[in-house]
Structure 1
Amino acid sequence: MTEFRLRAARPGPGIRRTLCDVRLAGAGSESVDVILEDGVVAGLRPAGSERVAGERVSADGRWLLPGLWDSHVHFTQWAYTSRRFDLSRTSTAAEVLAAVDGNTPPGVYGPAVGFGFRDAMWPDAADLAAFDRASHGRSVILIAADLHCVWLNSAALTEHGHAGHPTGLLREEDAFAVHRSLDTVQDAIVDGWVHTAADAAAARGVVGIVDFEMAWNVEAWTRRIAAGTIALRVRFGIYRANLDRAIADGLRSGQILPHTHGLLEVGAFKVITDGSLNTRTAFCVDPYPGSTTYGLLNVPPDELGPLMARARSAGLDSAIHAIGDRANSHALDAFEATGARGSIEHAQLLSPEDVGRFAALGITASVQPEHAMDDRDVAEHHWAGRTGRAFTLRSILDAGGRIALGSDAPVAPLDPWLAIASAVGRARDGREPWHPEQSITVREAIAASTGSGAAVVAAGQVADLALVDRDPYASSPDELRRMPVAATILNGRDTFSRL
């Protein structure tokens, strides 16, 4: 997708409100009153200069900016994550198994699920026998932080048709099949978790998400919105397994679906062409250290082009997952050959000659800056000598390209301020900035996080807004990471407020 085509979302027609004593982030320090009417920013006036009928809300000099989007999430998986035991602080296989032992008490039955391990830098090997001992007779499924790998004990391997596997580590499509098998919780329960996660996103200034959950998302989100989950706009992806169904139903990118208060929009056709860095399946020009493997190409070029051409002819944009430099070259080639519109999702490692192709082809680089902070050490090891062209946000922008920021939640938390901070500072946890030459400005990061590309609130915009306690343009990366949000407004109505 090249841009978000925001439309007014109901309920909300006829609402007239004035946000009083507001400072517009990125537009100076003068206070203004912001008039909201029928879901639109109807006007800006000097503070206190004109009284307009309707509700008046004092912002007490806080800063207002366009509402934030997360351009890449797996929202149901994100909602599930809080119900799974945490492995994110582990750094060895032994530490993972200690966490398993502590979360699978003897005498308790049923599968146990953990999330968040990263095995790319483990100093020790995955030991299936030790895993079985730590599991106390339970079936255990552990999901890697990048979602492209799972670790199953022997009981779980048998249940999922992989009995006899030597390590229990399953990757790519085998891992995705395990993910799908876990989606057995009743809709009403999952929808409740999703509702809570949506409210939590709104509390961080989020007004919209691009949901790439591996499912038929039309029914799920229509049901959720009808039940009252109306804190977010949702643009959903369509996977290969459902392409025929989407075409038969006449779905087209940008189409707003009926009976969803204007909140649910058809997104892009999603194809996962390669794997991930941590799983060492990102498809690269050079082999991985100590190996003759170059990663994994899930969808080769002779399949990718026809798939994208078919989607394009049906009115669907394409969102192509590509992480390794060779996978990105293939994806860009397919966009060029088919004339498809859309995005490359992740675009983590690029060949120098491909950086300028995003602008030339009008393709958005949909990137997740927090991944650079999570993966900097892994990248230095597995992409040694090439990290100067990893997560190249500055280079893409300087070449005239467009970027969109996201989290890939649950791979990183659904919080655009984390992405903004990492894009600007290229650092976290007190470490020195990593390849600071690829840093972007606060204005550029906010523009890449608002869906519309607007970094400053202006009259005529849809009234999707975030009110914050601190001026983002005068904040350090660490302050951006902890940005206090005072209110979030979707189509002129509050989805979160502590005013």
Structure 2
Amino acid sequence: MTVETPGVADTAEPLILAGARLPGVDGVVDLHLDGGRVAAVLPGGSPLGGAGARRATAARRRLDLDGRFVVPGLHDRHVHFSQWAMVSRRLDLAGAESAAAVAALVGASVEGGDAEVIGFGYRDALWADAPTREVLDAVSGEVPVVLVSADLHACWLNSAALRRYGVGDVGGASGVLREEHCFRLMREIDDVADGVLDGWVADAAHRAAARGVVGITEYEMRWNRDDWVRRVAGGVDALRVSFGVYTQHLDRAIAEGLRTGDEVPGTAGLVTVGGYKVITDGSLNTRTACCFDPYPGLGPDEHPYGLANVPYEDLVPLMCRAHDAGLTPAVHAIGDRANAMVLDAFAAVGCGGSIEHAQLLRRSDLARFARLGIVASVQPEHAMDDRDVADRYWAGRTDRAFMLAELASAGVELVLGSDAPVAPLDPWVAIAAAVGRTRDGRGPWHPEQAIEARAALAASTGGQGAVVRAGGRADLAVIDLDPYAASVEALRAMPVSATLLAGRFTHSLG
């Protein structure tokens, strides 16, 4: 692949992507880009066709793709971007398989001289030993320790941290905070200086672009508009960002006239207002997803059916206020009881929107999902992370967990995401999980719920479909393999040669 006019920071001048292949389309094509759009898709080497194609050719900027594949640029429909940017700066707990193993990692960090230890990524649902404050105290002394679970719905603290943050009465003997208590603490420990955090975000945005990503839906629990206006003004321009509004900011959003889909001034069209995000229940690994059936073997301080963070009688008025103000609800629901309640709420409000996660569903709710026109915003890699946890805590019900194929067959629109940092911000990982339902050499888990690569790709491009078409945005990913023919393992590691946003390179290996 050669670039006659190289440079990742090129402006969106007319450009020809020559000798490209499109998945599912025979032969090679030339893509003529102009004005941030795909002006024409012509057979390779064919004569000019249309003003846009003529302008691209006249500009003599040409990238020879040598038969590489081009797909619409990828979107991750559910991320916590600041969290994702922070995790590489925190103690990595992902490989720990017990409370004792976590304590050993914390102890090593303390011995290394850290004045405070903030870790991320533990998953305790299958541990033989329980997390307690004493386990952490034994290795940390007076050094505050805050450990965030991989699902972001629990924090585990030692005594010094419980005192520092004034939550000792909540943490109890375990030192574990769940749901809203956890969210409040996370907002405190995430209070990083803007300049520092923006630098981390810029790095994360470039990493995302290197995986073919052109857009994200941001669900950080912050007042996201001002953050992203500042970042774009500072040169963070590799991604399109649609940001969510949480309940604590709903009054402000309404007062300032924010409406879903509106472009935010001063962001060159990169930042738009997203939906109204509300979290109605917890998560599977924290055993707080709200279910009709009880979780087996829970401790005395846990809730046997999970938690309804927002009861129905509060949810409907909140969704009504948001909808009436022009903010589309995007509602977190994981357990089957939570999903049923949220569908009831959408029916009562009479609006569309999305359910974020939709992990466990009653089959009787599939038709309602479709009839109400609710989008299923799902994260297929969660099924790979949680398969063993689901087999234990949702035993006898896993045939209706992460049921992508049945949702699609019922006519429900699927959109894929990562929930980063819960799973990596890499749509190829999500696509591979949706197609193969497997990872790490294990057999497929409920393969009947797999979807085809074409459908998974289409659900990952922000509404642009699976095939590049004339007139569409010149948001593109250049990849080395045919995504329809690649193995599941190859999909996970898909080589990305270039990424363009509105015809401008945000990533290039050439």
TM-score by length of 2: 0.94
8 Å contact from structure 2 (residues 124, 130) kept in 1: no
1:75 to 78, 81, 93: 81
Question: Where do residues 92-241 of structure 1 align in structure 2 (5 Å cutoff)?
Answer: 92-105=98-111, 108=113, 110-163=115-168, 165-241=172-248
Residue 62 of structure 2 is aligned to residue 59 of structure 1: no
1:175-233 alpha-carbon deviations (Å, 9 max, x no partner): 11110001222100100000000000000000000000000001000000000000000
Q: How far, CA to CA, are the matches of 1:424 and 1:444 in structure 2?
A: 9
Q: How far, CA to CA, are the matches of 1:77 and 1:383 in structure 2?
A: 28
Residue 254 of structure 2 is aligned to residue 247 of structure 1: yes
8 Å contact from structure 1 (residues 34, 44) kept in 2: yes
Q: What does residue 288 of structure 1 align with?
A: 295
1:423-445 alpha-carbon deviations (Å, 9 max, x no partner): 00000000000000000000000
| Identical positions, percent | 57
Q: Name the aligned partner's letter for residue 72 of structure 1.
A: H
SS across alignment from 1:274: coil
Give the aligned CA root-mean-square deviation in angstroms: 1.3
8 Å contact from structure 1 (residues 101, 136) kept in 2: no
Q: How far, CA to CA, are the matches of 1:429 and 1:396 in structure 2?
A: 26
Q: How far, CA to CA, are the matches of 1:126 and 1:459 in structure 2?
A: 55
Question: Where do residues 24-63 of structure 1 align in structure 2 (5 Å cutoff)?
Answer: 24-28=22-26, 30-50=27-47, 52-54=57-59, 55-63=61-69
SS across alignment from 2:15: strand
Task: Assess, with a 3 A threshold, how the Cα gap between structure 1 residues 14 and 392 changes in structure 2: closer, same or farther.
Answer: closer
Q: How far, CA to CA, are the matches of 1:414 and 1:16 in structure 2?
A: 30
Residue 445 of structure 2 is aligned to residue 449 of structure 1: no
Q: What does residue 489 of structure 1 align with?
A: 500
8 Å contact from structure 2 (residues 288, 306) kept in 1: yes
Q: What does residue 378 of structure 2 align with?
A: 367
Equivalences, count: 487
SS across alignment from 2:359: coil
Q: How far, CA to CA, are the matches of 1:425 and 1:109 in structure 2?
A: 41
SS across alignment from 1:473: coil
Task: Assess, with a 3 A threshold, how the Cα gap between structure 1 residues 170 and 195 changes in structure 2: closer, same or farther.
Answer: same
Residue 363 of structure 2 is aligned to residue 357 of structure 1: no
What's the CA shift for 1:77? 0.4
Q: What does residue 95 of structure 2 align with?
A: 89
1:305-327 alpha-carbon deviations (Å, 9 max, x no partner): 11101111001100000000000
Q: What does residue 397 of structure 1 align with?
A: 408
Q: How far, CA to CA, are the matches of 2:414 and 2:311 in structure 1?
A: 25
Q: How far, CA to CA, are the matches of 1:496 and 1:368 in structure 2?
A: 25
Q: What does residue 52 of structure 2 align with?
A: none
8 Å contact from structure 1 (residues 13, 39) kept in 2: no
SS across alignment from 1:355: helix
What's the CA shift for 1:390? 0.2
Q: What does residue 258 of structure 1 align with?
A: 265
Q: Name the aligned partner's letter for residue 19 of structure 1.
A: L
Q: How far, CA to CA, are the matches of 1:232 and 1:109 in structure 2?
A: 34
8 Å contact from structure 2 (residues 72, 464) kept in 1: no
Which shows bigger deviation, 275-284 or 135-144? 135-144
Q: How far, CA to CA, are the matches of 1:347 and 1:129 in structure 2?
A: 36
1:310 to 312, 321, 332: 321
Q: Name the aligned partner's letter for residue 305 of structure 2.
A: Y
8 Å contact from structure 1 (residues 67, 466) kept in 2: yes
What's the CA shift for 1:12? 8.5
Q: Name the aligned partner's letter for residue 198 of structure 2.
A: D
8 Å contact from structure 2 (residues 12, 503) kept in 1: no
SS across alignment from 1:114: strand
Q: How far, CA to CA, are the matches of 1:261 and 1:315 in structure 2?
A: 22
Q: How far, CA to CA, are the matches of 1:352 and 1:444 in structure 2?
A: 21
Q: How far, CA to CA, are the matches of 1:319 and 1:110 in structure 2?
A: 39
1:433-484 alpha-carbon deviations (Å, 9 max, x no partner): 0000000000000000001151100101011100001111110111100100
SS across alignment from 1:488: strand
**Structure 1 residue ranges without an equivalent (≥5):** 1-10
Q: Name the aligned partner's letter for residue 81 of structure 2.
A: F
Query: Which portions of structure 1, spanning 4 or more consecutive aligned residues, are displaced by more than 4 angstroms?
Result: 11-14
Q: What does residue 448 of structure 2 align with?
A: 437
Q: How far, CA to CA, are the matches of 2:101 and 2:456 in structure 1?
A: 36
SS across alignment from 2:58: coil
Q: How far, CA to CA, are the matches of 1:352 and 1:24 in structure 2?
A: 36
SS across alignment from 1:472: coil
What's the CA shift for 1:134? 1.1
